[in-house]
Structure 1
Amino acid sequence: MLHVLYLVGVAAFAASGVLAAYRANMDPFGGLVLAFAASISGGTLRDLILDRHPLYWTHDWVLLTVIICVGVGTMIYLRFRTLPYRSLLVVDAAGLAVVTVIGARAAIDAGATPLAVIILAVLTGVTGEVVRDVLCGEFPPLLLREDVYAIAALAGGCCLLGLHHLGVNGTAATAASAGLVFALRMAAVYLGWHLPRPQQLGGGRGAAD
């Protein structure tokens, strides 16, 4: 079940990589590069930190096949249809939700401390997006432009950790935590949720000085 869920998250990030390449006017090869970069960067960083070898994607041909198929399929679809900008944010949110909780689960299984679990959950979730945006020339990356991004991953990691300590079934805890991340991101996208800016906290006086 966990592997299937991870494949869903990887597929979502692969699609988001191709969509980002499409918006940046890259060629098909660039689209595949971004598909792989968005899909495996977070998990690679997680495994390196946890000293897990070999890296998870180097011996999982199913995962690599999913990335290629989703990447190529998304490119073919874009040949005939133009997707709105928010479609990138939706698939990115799906990838963020799944990859974040998988990162938290891996950290828990490795015996990491609670704070380390939360940090690894956030790093696993946001790294692929940062690498993708940097490679396609988007600066600052979505992480730094959207307040409720890392915060959503943070909430998901905390939720999974809390449910784990309460003894909630692993599948239910994973699904609930991923749902929370996705809901927060969608609320940020469609309702305009964001954290207050420093100027707002200071009543705008800092900008005028």
Structure 2
Amino acid sequence: MPSYYITPDLLIYLFDMVGVVACAIAGTLLAQHKGFDIAGCILVSMANAIGGGTIRDVIIDRHPLFWMTDLNYIIVITITSLVLQIFFHLYHKIDTALKFFDAIGLAAFSVIGLKVALSQGVAPAIAVLMAVCTAIVGGMVRDIICNEIPLVLQREIYITASVIGSCCYFVMQAIGIEPGINDLLTLAIIFFIRILALIFDWHLPSIRLVD
């Protein structure tokens, strides 16, 4: 009988594409809302979708860059952005839609960043940092281009979700959970922490010194 087992490499690739599509949607939503033209929306969606992974690969000296050897990334981002621009009028609640797709991208890219960094033999602490880098840099670039204050600088439970999920990955690995299941659970943990933070308006406290 034929085997339909999904290999770890294929699973990681699927996670990557999920994150790319989600971030391309988030980037296009914001750019379209700001009145960017067709090319501008595609540019913002690309910065959002591949910006974090690009910086990650540069830091850990992973060459060539992932999107330079696989044109599927550029194709998927471009098609996603174009389709969304055509049907943009269906998204009435821009803020809700943006944050939902941003949460998907945060979770998927955190897992990708963690796995890629570990495959390069870095220490666990550095792998967590690379998970955060992969997850947040693209969104920061998107917000800066669109003249918005980046979400990660607004007391949002954002970086925290990535760090908690990444640490949970190592805990689950230590107790012997199968790698594929571990990846899915890590993704779910990060996504639901972010969504719950949005639903219940959780924020990190700020430190203010009283004169």
After TM superposition, the score normalised by the length of structure 1 is 0.91
Counterpart residue identity of residue 123, structure 2 = T
**Structure 1 runs, 4 residues or longer, greater than 6 Å off:** none
C-alpha separation between the residues in 1 aligned to 2:16 and 2:155?
A: 24
Task: Give the aligned partner of residue 181 of structure 1.
Answer: 190
Q: Indicate yes or no: 2:107 matched with 1:97.
A: yes
Contact 2:52 2:136 in 1 (8 A): yes
Contact 1:117 1:161 in 2 (8 A): no
Contact 1:148 1:185 in 2 (8 A): yes
Task: Give the aligned partner of residue 58 of structure 2.
Answer: 48
State the Cα distance separating 1:146 from its structure 2 match: 3.7
Q: Indicate yes or no: 2:31 matched with 1:21.
A: yes
Consecutive unaligned residues in structure 1, runs of 5 or more: none
Which of residues 54, 64, 75 in structure 2 aligns to 1:65? Answer: 75
State the Cα distance separating 1:81 from its structure 2 match: 4.5
Counterpart residue identity of residue 122, structure 1 = V
Contact 1:149 1:185 in 2 (8 A): yes
Contact 1:45 1:124 in 2 (8 A): yes
State the Cα distance separating 1:80 from its structure 2 match: 4.9
Task: Give the aligned partner of residue 197 of structure 1.
Answer: 206
State the Cα distance separating 1:162 from its structure 2 match: 2.5
Q: Secondary structure at the match of 1:198?
A: coil
Q: Indicate yes or no: 2:127 matched with 1:120.
A: no
C-alpha separation between the residues in 1 aligned to 2:91 and 2:167?
A: 38
Counterpart residue identity of residue 2, structure 1 = I
Contact 2:140 2:151 in 1 (8 A): yes
Task: Give the aligned partner of residue 160 of structure 1.
Answer: 169
Which of residues 170, 178, 199 in structure 1 aligns to 2:179? Answer: 170
- Number of positions where the alignment pairs a residue of Structure 1 with one of Structure 2: 201
C-alpha separation between the residues in 1 aligned to 2:137 and 2:186?
A: 19
C-alpha separation between the residues in 1 aligned to 2:143 and 2:21?
A: 17
Contact 1:19 1:88 in 2 (8 A): yes
Which of residues 120, 140, 144 in structure 2 aligns to 1:134? Answer: 144
Q: Indicate yes or no: 2:88 matched with 1:84.
A: no
Q: Secondary structure at the match of 1:9?
A: helix
Contact 2:168 2:186 in 1 (8 A): yes
Contact 1:42 1:124 in 2 (8 A): yes
Contact 1:122 1:154 in 2 (8 A): yes
Task: Give the aligned partner of residue 148 of structure 1.
Answer: 157
Task: Give the aligned partner of residue 4 of structure 2.
Answer: none
State the Cα distance separating 1:72 from its structure 2 match: 0.8
After TM superposition, the score normalised by the length of structure 2 is 0.90
Counterpart residue identity of residue 186, structure 2 = S
C-alpha separation between the residues in 1 aligned to 2:74 and 2:36?
A: 21
Instruction: Select the structure that is richer in helix.
Output: 1
| Alpha-carbon distance change, 147 to 81 in structure 1, aligned in 2, over 3 angstroms | closer
Contact 1:14 1:71 in 2 (8 A): yes
Which of residues 42, 56, 66 in structure 2 aligns to 1:32? Answer: 42
| Alpha-carbon distance change, 146 to 198 in structure 1, aligned in 2, over 3 angstroms | closer
